[in-house]
Amino acid sequence: MKETEDIHVNGTLIWYYYVCPRQVWLMGRQILPDEKHPSIELGRVIHEHAYQGEKKEVTVGHCKIDVLGTKNGRLVVGEVKKSSRHPQAARMQLLFYLEELRRRGVEAEGVLLFPEERRRQKVALSEDALRELDKAKREILRLLYQEKPPGPIKSRFCPGCGYAEYCWA
């Protein structure tokens, strides 16, 4: 990427950063994963059918918030995930959304939603979380400005990855 390009870190890039840096580089260049990959299709189905009574897909700046609601007079931001296999990635993505809202003057609570597991997990913005987010955003920008992607690193998540062909074909 060129220095003059308008690059924005978004929640998806935060998610990918905590899963695989190579995915950050690919997604940052609009190289999309295999949309027909079973894992991606399952995630799409869960996202479309879970929490149908809630307001979904709300855009705030460069963020696409999955679920937005209120509880006891407080705004609640929900992030829907098909599983809790990537807890840090999910938590940091939701914290990113909470920080973006705060920067716009909106205080909100966060909740990770795992409909297949029938589980919810509260997430709160803290000073430690803000420092970690800042570090992650700087590292994401560093990755995006690299000429070539980081090399592939085999992990237990590779078989369920929509980018696997870009790494192992």
Tokens of 28: 């940052």
Going from N- to C-terminal start, the domains of the chain cover 11-168
Q: pLDDT tens across 141-165, in order? A: 999 999 999 999 888 888 878 888 8
Tokens of 66: 């999955």
Q: How many CB atoms lie within 10 A of CB 85?
A: 13
Beta strands 74-80 and 109-114, pairing class: parallel
% of the chain at pLDDT higher than 70 = 83
pLDDT at 4 over 50: no
For the beta sheet containing 109-114, the strands, ordered from the edge strand earlier in sequence to the opposite edge, are 55-60, 63-71, 74-80, 109-114, 119-123
Class of domain 11-168: alpha beta
State pTM to two decimals: 0.85
